[in-house]
A and B are shown apart, each in its own frame.
Chain A
Amino acid sequence: MSMTMSVGVVGPSHWSYMAKEFARILGDILSSGRIEADSVPNSLYADASEFFGLLEQYVSAGVPPNPPASANAYMIAKRAMQTAVAKSNHGADVRKSLRECVRFFRSTRNPRELNGEEIAVATSLQEFLQQLYLDGQSDTYESRVHFKQCLMHS
């Protein structure tokens, strides 16, 4: 009984536009080597916060408040990270990379010059978001063209 799983569980397509827009902004940041106060628009930051928030809850110690949503976001991110930037496929390494990306994302509200280490993380994050965008596009195409079974039955 019930559709318990559905709450907070979305496919990669949900994050697709956010990922593309954020990747573009990261491109601008990387070209200038600097983050400005208004580099990331508020509404975009709010959307990205939701995704990175779910990831953060999953990769940090303890149980996330909404486990299916966090586990789902982690699985989406893990696949994108492994395809785009992972140096290793081990869970621990992916978790570490994601933690770095989340930390950098949180710092995009602080205006500053980027150092070498931050540029490397920002580049990884940009590649990760570009992959997330592509995964999202595939998800949209597949779900619409092959019409989800659940809609046909309910």
Chain B
Amino acid sequence: MNTAKSTPSIPALRYQASALERHLVSFAKEEYPAQALQIRDVLLCLVRRIGDELERILAGAPQELDFDRARTLASYVYDLHSYVRYLRASSPRHTPPGIQFALAELTKHFFPARNGTPLCLVRPQWSYNLGYLDLSTTLEDMIQLHVLNPTDQPHTAEKRDLLPALWELQQQAKTAKDKAAGESQPYPNQLAVLSFARLDTDDVLLYPMLAHELGHFIDYSFRPRYLHLKNELYEAAAITLQSVQTALNLDQDSAEECYQQLLPHAYICLREIIADLLAARMMGFSFFVAQAEYLKRLSAWPGRTIEPSGYPGIKFRLSIVCDYLRSLRPPYNIGDFLRQHEDNEHAAFLLSYLGGWMQELEDDTTLRAAKKEPANSPQLFLENAIRSALPAVYKIVDEVMRDRPCARLTDSFFSRIINLTHDLPPSCESENDNSIAEIFSAAWAYRLKYGEARQENEVEQARKGLEYNKTCNLVLKAIELIPFAPTGVQPKTAVNGTTPQRQGVPPDVSERPHGVLGKRCLLARMALPVSNKSSIKVVPFKEAALNPVSLDLRLGNWFSVARKARLSCFTIEADSPERTSMFVRESTFTPQNERFVIHPGDLVLGTTLEFLALPGNVMAYVEGKSKIGRKGLIIATASKIDPGFHGVLVLELVNAGTVPIEISPGCVIAQLVFQGLHIPLEGDDLYHGEFYCQIKPM
């Protein structure tokens, strides 16, 4: 008997939906950021609904149309499965938690509350580009009520209501089970996935570019959706079928074809410009420089005004961003701020740097190229339309982000640069909503004024790249330290040279030039300007952490564990590859309020939260704390720290007891004893080894 049939096996499709559900459930909070887990929960709502609908089809006697519906449901499963890659790539193993944190902070600060509840996940992608995915709209686009909710249970007037309704049902089911845990969450109605190029993962100075993608997120979430574009921009741009036909002198069919191309191109161009300007508001100077550096890699100067795809050309978009930043009122105007501090060498340098850019941007090379095109060219028509719409774009940007202050530079900007010049993270004692933008601005200022020259001056080719790598590490460390700093107040400049002397502390640090340094001496040395050769810096520093002859250190977020199942053995030769190989070691990031468990007998590499910078006349020893030692935790075996060392301390944590030990980032884990040297070390004798400026275990 021939049993072949051309209809799909619905149990097989149901199995695929179940497999996806199992896959999603397996994402654990220990390994993924909270944003990934919330997006996972949204996807779970849909997958479970799809499973239920397939069950329903299976329970009846499927007809031809039911098979069509089952195929459509299966296509939803395929699409949803492809989104799992976003979640998987968001793990700290692939996405530095610093990026995720910075974007979450920017979203919290700049996303207008009237646009909804935002949730923004960041992840790397293989293709060399940045990207924005409007996940809410993508999921809404995918859904069809007649496929997912043919019986109107739960009742949904519009398809955009279905996901919140399914979320609510899921939360109710969850609440019954997890009420005590208080895990009920509001539906995040604005979901976005921002992507950066995987190649740029360690290229921290390019992170401000992600503000452009966040700009898209804010723009697209504006309510009522698209109305601002329709009413303001397109009227200003005046792109209609009639205007295309008249301006380009075309017959109706040709005009129609041209209109079909120009309309989406104008849309792309305007939205790119809006995202650029929103990013400029959020990240200020750092966005302009990062974008200029990024685009220079990709396109020759000056390029077209508008590319054939509709994307604005390199020079056109940079000139728009530059004009916008110059048009901002004080205290947000960078030019005004720098002119006010013109006697500062960094301000003077940056003024000249920006002046150079303005000269480049004011040159009319592109305009002249465009003028060679015939007057009725579609490209010229589009350019003119976009230029006419620019005043409306500025207005929209202000409207989209009204009541939100722009990024600005403050006095702490200069002290952050000074920190970087002395190989310290550009941190302040207290941070605020403006800190992320200021840290990146300081990083770029440092890079432009000092970093490139230092790189050039390195004789050894291999060391040239280390300068850039070091800057990236220091910036990332400063971002990672923000959650540990007091917030909401103007950043204090205590880390750098402008620190006021603490009262009652003798400024004379030569009191005990050698021997173990006591509390008074340490305080005095920490209060010295960073440029002083006796200055000791600990970032972040809390006076309460000082003991009579030591300084308490807290546990950092990064851990490195051996992948025992793949490792045959370690060798102890100096050039042994095992220590750094990802094959044998795995880095994990534990957020501030989470726990990390060390099992009996395990060796785990951890770090101190504090970034330490020792001068040439001081060395230090890292020691355990008695309270911790009594629980069986040994914190370091290689305990000597050389003069000139900069970086976090890597702790070799061993649980020598018989009971697992839980530790949490931020807890006091060790103490540091400082020892003065009779004769200070200088030049090549200072530590400049491979762990210089390390920020996590290697």
Contact = CB atoms under 8 A, between A and B. Distances in A.
A153 B275 CA distance: 24
A74 B150 contact: no
A36 B289 CA distance: 64
Given A14-B141, A153-B126, A154-B131, A4 B268 contact: yes
Interface in B116-138: 125-127, 129-134, 137-138
Interface in B389-410: none
A92 B152 CA distance: 39
Contact of B272 (A1, A6, A13, A21): A1
B226 A65 contact: yes
B263 A47 contact: no
A146 interface: no
Interface string A7-34: 1101001101110110010000000000
Contact of A46 (B130, B145, B230): B145
B267 interface: yes
A5 B159 contact: no
A98 B72 CA distance: 26
A21 B78 contact: no
A41 interface: yes
B126 A41 contact: no
Contacts of A3: 131-133
Nearest to B132: A2
Interface string A136-153: 000010001000000101
B152 A42 contact: yes
Most buried by A among B152, B225, B263: B263
The secondary-structure label for the interface of chain A is: helix
Most buried by B among A47, A61, A74: A47
Contacts of B267: 4, 66-68
Contact of A17 (B72, B142, B272): B72
Contacts of B256: 91
B264 A71 contact: yes
A112 B159 CA distance: 28
B626 to A, nearest CB: 52
Interface in B500-548: none
Contacts of B226: 65-66
B125 A21 contact: no
Contacts of A21: 65, 68, 146
A154 B65 contact: no
A62 B68 contact: no
Interface in A67-126: 67-68, 71, 74-75, 90-92
Contact of A2 (B72, B213, B230): B213
B101 interface: no
B144 interface: yes
Most buried by A among B130, B147, B275: B147
A16 B138 CA distance: 18
Interface string B185-228: 00000000001000000000000010011001000100001110
B240 A62 contact: yes
B146 A4 contact: no
Most buried by B among A3, A10, A42, A151: A3
Most buried by A among B132, B133, B138, B146: B146
Contact of B240 (A42, A46, A63, A90): A63
Nearest to A94: B256
Contacts of A46: 145-146, 158-159
B592 interface: no
Contact count band on B: 35 or more
Contacts of A43: 145-146, 149-150, 152
B318 to A, nearest CB: 13
A42 B6 CA distance: 30
B380 interface: no
Contact count band on A: 35 or more
A26 to B, nearest CB: 14
B253 interface: yes
B260 interface: yes
A17 B68 contact: yes
A57 B257 CA distance: 17
Contacts of B134: 6-7
A20 B78 CA distance: 21
A132 to B, nearest CB: 13
A67 B275 contact: no
B239 interface: yes
Contacts of B72: 16-17
Nearest to A13: B75
Contact of A63 (B78, B127, B147, B239): B239
Nearest to A90: B253
A92 B257 CA distance: 12
Nearest to B130: A1
A67 B266 contact: yes
A50 B271 contact: no
B234 interface: yes
A95 to B, nearest CB: 8
A110 to B, nearest CB: 19
A17 to B, nearest CB: 4
B141 A1 contact: no
A123 B144 CA distance: 25
Interface in B241-299: 252-253, 256-257, 260, 263-264, 266-268, 271-272, 275
A63 B451 CA distance: 49
B229 interface: yes
Contacts of B272: 1-2, 4
A47 B146 CA distance: 7
Interface in B295-345: 311
B464 interface: no
A109 B170 CA distance: 34
Contacts of A18: 144, 146
B69 interface: yes
B82 interface: yes
B212 A2 contact: yes
A65 B266 contact: no
A95 B526 CA distance: 76
Contacts of A13: 75
A7 B229 CA distance: 14
A134 to B, nearest CB: 12
A105 B353 CA distance: 61
A154 B125 contact: yes
A115 to B, nearest CB: 28
Contact of A154 (B126, B147, B268): B126
A63 B260 CA distance: 11
A2 to B, nearest CB: 5
Most buried by A among B68, B142, B144: B144
A97 to B, nearest CB: 14
Given A17-B144, A20-B65, A47-B145, A2 B126 contact: no
Nearest to A15: B144
A7 B137 contact: yes
A25 to B, nearest CB: 11
10 contacts: A2-B130, A2-B131, A6-B133, A46-B159, A62-B240, A63-B239, A64-B263, A67-B266, A140-B75, A144-B75
Given A46-B146, A65-B229, 18 more contacts: A1-B131, A2-B213, A4-B132, A5-B268, A14-B144, A16-B68, A16-B72, A18-B144, A18-B146, A46-B158, A63-B263, A65-B225, A65-B227, A66-B226, A68-B268, A71-B260, A90-B253, A140-B71
Interface of A: 1-8, 10, 13-14, 16-18, 20-21, 24, 41-44, 46-47, 50, 61-68, 71, 74-75, 90-92, 140, 144, 151, 153-154
The 6 residue pairs across chains A and B that have the minimum distance between CB atoms:
A65-B226, A43-B145, A63-B234, A91-B256, A43-B146, A68-B264
